[in-house]
């Protein structure tokens, strides 16, 4: 297997050129100069995520193609949560010299497979651990960004899809023997949910049709974390009907009695949590899970008035 | 010393809040949502650099304040080389849990000291090695970007300042005993050149006054590398008078007979190499080092017709 040490930096850049060489109407200057130049209308939205092997992914649960996909999905999900349309990606890669070129190419293939916009720039350097830094650039109309602080009393809380699948997939990948008697359609579905989560860019245009920008956040750190953050940043109370949180039958089969806990605290499902006026006409399949109230500002409660906290959310240190 | 493990992620974010909390006219949404939102005119310019401890910096040569400064300078230098005005920075930090909060705060202080624009976003996560990923965002008038491919036959080659200082500073930091008999003004000057290089943002506005965009590149991988890249990407020959390459007397004192080699191949000086029509009226102290010719396209030669190659440039793998 050819490694980066065999190939050198210039050799690696030549091998990666096909991933970013395509001209694109919005890109005036792409990879190969000191920076990239992009045209945009409205305002610029920018997000960044750093992923480190051994912390955010491991070879046993995430093949390189899925590493690229997930890194890209996490950033595009942040753009979707802001109500933005993607413009381009900037990819930073820190790699040990013994990394194979095949690994790097598979990461890039995963990025391209997930991603509707061009890779406009990047930086590649030596590092003791495989590290990905992805910056996503998007555009949004002036004053049209979806904010975490955008919940208003009287709004309903909607979500774009099911929760807990990514956490269930991780469980199967980490301990396959334990789940070997489950039907393969179920284990394959949750593994796919873990390795290839879909950022909800398709929900942006339907939600941007509404007269006022909605409140929104993605649920990458878990649904409970998103609920608490939106309650706190909006200064409102949220009441959630936990029986309405969507969970697939595949996730229920794997998770059993932990299904709701994984839905609330598992994270990395990349569905959007949206706050908008009741009966808003949105051409997108949203699921109603709760409502925004004036009582208990900053807090989230279920319909029995029990508090929901972000307690089990993933903490980085 | 308080470490990140003591403080946790939320605690760290609270400590860093002063560095990015200030409101700024161009920033509609800053840190704290899924992404940042910025207003801009013209086109967007984006650059990224990844820096890893043990590869790009070490505790013996670069205190944390200088780590932040240099990471920021490298990115702002890329914006300057594109002819762009800076808009904002996005800072990704990967940190071991035993990192002290004081270290992180010093890095941020260095970033802020170097940087005229707001930190608009970021990501902080655990990593086995200290890793910085800085993305710089800038704006440039449509069609006004300075490109590496912008050398035209008949142009003169100019530089914005002296070379070799950063490499000389590294030599003193790595082996102080060897240079202990030199005057302190000289060793201090080259250490400063290494730890606190100045990105040439101040040259952008004077160069943008010209009727046509100039060709330009920064010299972060060395002057020789920049010359070869501009010759190749512009499809022209470059003739350089090596006696005219500016080198400070401090650098000459440290480098002795290696002064020209360090100027050509040392790198990280962050001066700009600019190609523009002769006698262009530029209100900036530029130094003439050569000219652009039709002969030997893609090659760089000195006035004795000896080839100059990028040979000794730093290679990442």
Q: In the prediction, which pLDDT does B107 show?
A: 92
Q: Are A118 and A27 in contact (CB under 8 A)?
A: yes
Which of A123, A140, A216 lies at the smallest CB-CB distance from B50?
A123
DSSP A116-136: SS-EEEEEEEE-SS-EEEEEE
Q: How confident is the model at residue A185 (pLDDT cuts 50, 70, 90)?
A: very high
Residue A35 contacts B, CB cutoff 8 Å: yes
Cα distance between residue B51 and residue B49, in whole Å:
6
Q: Are B238 and B300 in contact (CB under 8 A)?
A: yes
pLDDT tens-place string over residues B251-310:
999 999 999 999 999 999 999 999 999 999 999 999 999 999 999 999 999 999 999 988
Cα distance between residue A180 and residue A197, in whole Å:
23
Q: What is the four-CA torsion angle of A190, A192, A197, A200, rounded to 10 degrees?
A: -90
**No. of helices (H) and no. of strands (E), chain B:** 9, 12
Q: Is domain A156-302 in CATH 3.40.50.150, yes or no?
A: no
Residue A10 has pLDDT above 80, yes or no: no
Residue B45 region, left (φ>0) first, then alpha (ψ -120 to 50), else beta?
A: beta
Q: Are A215 and A148 in contact (CB under 8 A)?
A: yes
Cα distance between residue A30 and residue B126, in whole Å:
31
Nearest to A277 by CA among A185, A192, A165, A150: A150
Q: Strand, helix or coil at B102?
A: helix
Instruction: Decide if A52 and B97 are in contact by the 8 Å CB cutoff.
Output: no
Instruction: Decide if B148 and A33 are in contact by the 8 Å CB cutoff.
Output: yes
Domain ranges in chain A with CATH number 3.30.1330.10:
38-140
Domain ranges in chain B with CATH number 3.30.1330.10:
4-140
Q: In the prediction, which pLDDT does B116 show?
A: 82
Per-residue pLDDT averaged across B235-254, rounded? 98
Q: Are A163 and A223 in contact (CB under 8 A)?
A: yes
Q: In the prediction, which pLDDT does B16 show?
A: 76
Q: Strand, helix or coil at A104?
A: helix
Return the minimum-mean-pLDDT range out of A201-215, A273-287, B46-60. Answer: B46-60
Instruction: Decide if A47 and B55 are in contact by the 8 Å CB cutoff.
Output: no
pLDDT tens-place string over residues B158-168:
999 999 999 99
CATH superfamily to which B4-140 belongs: PurM-like, N-terminal domain (3.30.1330.10)
Residue A177 burial (CB count, 10 A): 6
Q: In the prediction, which pLDDT does B266 show?
A: 93
Residue A293 has pLDDT above 50, yes or no: yes
Q: Are B217 and B272 in contact (CB under 8 A)?
A: yes
Residue A314 has pLDDT above 50, yes or no: no
Report the chain A residue with the minimal C-alpha distance to residue B272.
A34
Task: Please name the residues between 171 and 200 in chain B that touch chain A, using a CB distance below 8 Å.
Answer: none
Per-residue pLDDT averaged across B232-251, rounded? 97
Sheet order of strands, B27-29 included: A119-126, A85-95, A131-140, A43-52, B36-38, B27-29
Collect all residues with Cβ–Cβ distance below 8 Å to A45 and sequence separation of at least 6: A79, A82, A84, A137, A138, A139, A140, A145, B35, B36, B37, B38
Cα distance between residue A84 and residue A137, in whole Å:
9
Collect all residues with Cβ–Cβ distance below 8 Å to B230 and sequence separation of at least 6: B148, B149, B151, B215, B217, B238, B273, B275
Residue B55 burial (CB count, 10 A): 16
Q: In the prediction, which pLDDT does B223 show?
A: 96
Q: Are B86 and B77 in contact (CB under 8 A)?
A: no
Cα distance between residue A217 and residue A223, in whole Å:
10
Residue A44 contacts B, CB cutoff 8 Å: yes
Residue B40 has pLDDT above 90, yes or no: no
Ranges A301-315, B22-36, B107-121, B231-245, most confident: B231-245
The shortest C-alpha distance from B131 to chain A (Å) reads 9
Q: In the prediction, which pLDDT does B22 show?
A: 60
**Residue in the structure block whose two tokens are 């086995």:** B128
Top pLDDT among B31 and B233 is at: B233
Residue B278 burial (CB count, 10 A): 9
Q: Are B241 and B111 in contact (CB under 8 A)?
A: no
Q: In the prediction, which pLDDT does A145 show?
A: 93
> Which positions in chain B touch A4 (Cβ < 8 Å)?
317
**Residue in the structure block whose two tokens are 């609330």:** A264
CATH of domain A38-140: 3.30.1330.10
Helices (H), B49-100: 64-81
CB-neighbour burial class of residue B62 (10 A; exposed 0-12, middle 13-18, buried 19+): buried
Main-chain phi, psi angles of A300, to 5 degrees: -120, 130
CA angle A218, A221, A222 (to 5 degrees): 85
Cα distance between residue A138 and residue A80, in whole Å:
9
pLDDT tens-place string over residues B107-157:
999 999 998 888 888 788 888 889 998 999 999 999 999 999 999 999 999
Interface test with chain B among A3, A16, A315, A317, by most B beta carbons within 10 Å: A317
Q: Which two tokens stand for residue B77?
A: 């230098």
Instruction: Decide if B125 and A50 are in contact by the 8 Å CB cutoff.
Output: yes
Domain ranges in chain B with CATH number 3.90.650.10:
156-302
Q: Are A145 and B30 in contact (CB under 8 A)?
A: no
Nearest to B27 by CA among B137, B145, B140, B142: B137
Residue B280 DSSP code: -
Cα distance between residue A190 and residue A184, in whole Å:
10
Q: What is the pTM of this model?
A: 0.88
Instruction: Decide if A49 and B123 are in contact by the 8 Å CB cutoff.
Output: yes
Per-residue pLDDT averaged across B56-85, rounded? 92
Q: Which two tokens stand for residue B184?
A: 């302190």
Q: Which two tokens stand for residue A178?
A: 């334990």
Cα distance between residue A62 and residue A53, in whole Å:
10
Q: In the prediction, which pLDDT does B312 show?
A: 54
Residue A85 has pLDDT above 50, yes or no: yes
The shortest C-alpha distance from A94 to chain B (Å) reads 7
pLDDT tens-place string over residues A97-141:
899 989 999 999 999 999 888 888 878 888 888 999 899 999 999
Taking the mean position of all CA atoms in its chain, how far away is CA B33?
29
Cα distance between residue A161 and residue A291, in whole Å:
17
Element (H, E) at A203: none
> Which positions in chain B touch A39 (Cβ < 8 Å)?
43-44, 142
Residue B215 has pLDDT above 50, yes or no: yes
Q: In the prediction, which pLDDT does A313 show?
A: 45
Q: How confident is the model at residue B1 (pLDDT cuts 50, 70, 90)?
A: confident
On the CB side of B297, how many CA atoms lie within 13 Å of its CA? 9
pLDDT tens-place string over residues A247-285:
999 999 999 999 999 999 999 999 999 999 999 999 999
Collect all residues with Cβ–Cβ distance below 8 Å to B193 and sequence separation of at least 6: B165, B166, B168, B169, B248, B250, B251, B269
Ranges A126-130, B1-5, B34-38, most confident: A126-130
């Amino acid at each position: 297997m050819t490694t980066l040490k065999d190939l050198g930096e210039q050799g690696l850049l030549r091998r990666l050129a096909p991933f970013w060489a395509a001209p694109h109407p919005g890109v005036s200057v792409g990879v190969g100069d000191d920076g990239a130049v992009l045209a945009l209308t409205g305002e610029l939205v920018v997000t960044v995520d750093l992923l480190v092997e051994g912390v955010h992914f491991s070879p046993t649960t995430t093949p390189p193609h899925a590493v690229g996909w997930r890194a890209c999905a996490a950033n595009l999900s942040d753009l979707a949560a802001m109500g933005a349309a993607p413009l381009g990606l900037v990819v930073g890669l820190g790699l040990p010299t013994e990394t194979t070129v095949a690994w790097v190419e598979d990461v890039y293939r995963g990025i391209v497979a997930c991603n509707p916009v061009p890779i406009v720039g990047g930086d590649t350097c030596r590092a003791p651990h495989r590290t990905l830094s992805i910056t996503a650039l998007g555009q949004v109309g002036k004053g049209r960004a979806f904010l975490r602080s955008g919940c208003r009393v009287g709004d309903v809380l909607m979500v774009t899809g099911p929760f807990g699948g990514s956490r269930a997939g991780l469980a199967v990948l980490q301990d396959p023997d334990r789940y070997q008697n489950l039907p393969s359609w179920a284990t394959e579905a949750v593994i796919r949910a873990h390795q290839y989560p879909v950022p909800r860019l398709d929900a942006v245009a339907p939600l941007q049709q509404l007269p006022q920008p909605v409140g929104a956040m993605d649920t990458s750190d878990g649904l409970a974390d998103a609920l608490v953050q939106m309650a706190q940043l909006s200064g409102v109370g949220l009441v959630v009907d936990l029986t309405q949180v969507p969970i697939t039958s595949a996730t229920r089969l794997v998770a059993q009695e932990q299904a709701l806990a994984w839905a609330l605290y598992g994270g990395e499902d990349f569905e959007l949590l949206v706050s908008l006026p009741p009966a808003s006409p949105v051409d997108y399949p949203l699921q109603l899970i709760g409502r925004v109230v004036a009582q208990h500002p900053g807090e989230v409660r279920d319909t029995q008035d029990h508090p929901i906290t972000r307690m089990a959310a993933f903490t980085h240190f």
